[in-house]
Amino acid sequence: MSINLENLTERLANKSATIAVVGLGYVGLPIVIRYTEIGFRVLGIDIDQAKVDRLNTSVSYIEHISDSAIGQAVTDGFEASVDFSRVNDADAIILCVPTPLNRHREPDLDFVLETTESLLPHLRKGQVISLESTTYPGTTEEELLPRIESTGHRVGEDIFLAYSPEREDPGNPSFVTRTIPKVCGGYSENCLQAGIALYTPAVDQVVPVSSLKVAEMTKLLENIHRAVNIGLVNEMKIVSDKMGINIHEVIDAAKTKPFGFTPYYPGPGLGGHCIPIDPFYLTWKARQYDINTRFIELAGEVNTAMPAWVIDKLTDALNDLEKSVKGAKIMILGIAYKKNVDDTRESPSVILMEILRAKGAILSYSDPHVRTFPAKRNHSFDLNHTELNAQNIGNYDALLLVTDHDKFDYDLIRKHARLIIDTRGRYSTEKLTTIIHA
């Protein structure tokens, strides 16, 4: 064990180390809170000055993370900053920045690479750097390692490089940062030991793997597994609909089998930062090895086509009422990507809204978790949350249920709506002519 590694692991073990978390979003903030609550000094780095100012005054901007949790972190020594030079004070640097797709559905590593470049002048011996952003196998070794070594540091001796994929599930009360096992890979044995030392105090179980690439591929497999199975059940929904079969009843019956079946549920398309994006990181990388990932890409095609299928169901339902989409008043129920959270990243609601706006519909939305339509790189709607009551529900030609938040009053909606397009199976047992299952 090198003297740098020995000093680092000792500081992590006795909690005298400083942890820097770069990227204070849905992944970074839970990590901040976890390390502060177990006694570490934590420095948060983000490029958004407004976000930094809010956090330093104990104000959260994520619904399921309370102001009191941020306030306790600040009391325990957390500080946010836009100054990247501050990472020189840190013993460990955890990178939690976005990895989106570009307009060609290829990996966009700009956030990762620009963040790394900003860190380089401020690195010092004895630090461990762990990337948590989801990416293709080879990213950490091919992109981060040479940049770090360009500063004169030797990875594995001076600085230790690890990859540990994030596994946050916003809004899930059953699993928190501490209880979710942490996969970790390192560039070398020393790097792996540094990564294990970093995460051992914070989580119940660290799962070491043999390389950076194995850790990177693990995250992709987890999300591709979900994407493929959701694609399968979405295709089954379309087939069942044509046959007059209730797919939700089928799923409920199938999941009574105590082995060999895991229930997945259909919807209007994929949402969130992981499942709609991660599979394309692997398909892009696989092409460099002359491999076509046909299974993954087919699932992607099915899932990507679901918003159009929902629009067709809505259009047909309006036609039956002798109405057109153009000029129709349509209320979108839920713009978060999944229920009971305020996260709208890659939400299928936004895709549906874009299609409906292009067709001339008059749009409103109701989402008790998202009060104002958020600023996005590729989408813009000047809309605010609309409260639902008996009078205004009846004023819409159709209500399109996209995200089935528990806060919605489904009895009130069913009683007063002229037409409901249900993409989530919330009314799966209903046979009313005003409810269309999509």
Of residues 78 and 432, more confidence is placed in 78
pLDDT of amino acid 171: 76
Confidence band for 10, pLDDT divided at 50, 70 and 90: very high
Q: What is the largest CA-CA distance in the chain?
A: 78
pLDDT of amino acid 431: 83
Mean pLDDT over 207-228 rounds to 96
Query: Among residues 96, 184, 191, 274, which one is catalytic?
Result: 274
The overall average pLDDT reported for the chain is: 94
95 close to 115: Cβ distance less than 8 angstroms? yes
Distance CA 218, CA 134 (A): 10
Mean pLDDT over 221-247 rounds to 95
Of residues 105 and 58, more confidence is placed in 58
Q: Residue 242: count other Cβ atoms within 10 Å of its Cβ.
A: 8
- Residue 403 CB partners (closer than 8 Å, separation 6+): 333, 334, 335, 336, 337, 338, 339, 347, 349, 367, 424
- Domains in the chain, start-ordered, CATH in brackets? 3-217 (3.40.50.720), 250-437 (3.40.50.720)
pLDDT of amino acid 101: 83
Query: Which residue has 């009843």 as its token pair?
Result: 249
pLDDT digits (tens, 9 = 90+) for 374-427: 987 778 899 999 999 998 999 999 999 999 999 999 999 999 999 999 999 999
Which two tokens mark 368? 């008790």
Q: In what order do the strands lie in the sheet with 18-22?
A: 79-81, 41-45, 18-22, 92-95, 128-131, 160-163, 182-186, 206-208
Answer yes or no: 274 catalytic: yes
Mean pLDDT over 352-378 rounds to 93
Query: Which residue has 């229920």 as its token pair?
Result: 339
> Model-level pTM?
0.92
Which of the residue ranges 118-122, 295-299, 313-317 would you say has the lowest mean pLDDT? 295-299
**Half-sphere exposure in the Cβ direction for 273 (13 Å, CA):** 18
DSSP state letter for 159: B
Confidence band for 1, pLDDT divided at 50, 70 and 90: low
362 close to 330: Cβ distance less than 8 angstroms? yes
Confidence band for 238, pLDDT divided at 50, 70 and 90: very high
- Given a cut of 70, is residue 24 above it in pLDDT? yes
- Given a cut of 80, is residue 254 above it in pLDDT? yes
pLDDT digits (tens, 9 = 90+) for 111-164: 999 999 999 999 999 999 999 999 999 999 999 999 999 999 999 999 999 999
pLDDT of amino acid 31: 97
Burial class (CB in 10 A: 0-12, 13-18, 19+), 292: exposed
- Residue 322 forms beta bridges with which residues? none
Distance CA 304, CA 279 (A): 13
pLDDT digits (tens, 9 = 90+) for 162-210: 999 999 887 788 889 999 999 999 999 999 999 999 999 999 999 999 9
Mean pLDDT over 71-83 rounds to 96
17 close to 91: Cβ distance less than 8 angstroms? yes
Which two tokens mark 111? 């956030």
What percent of the chain is predicted at pLDDT more than 90? 87
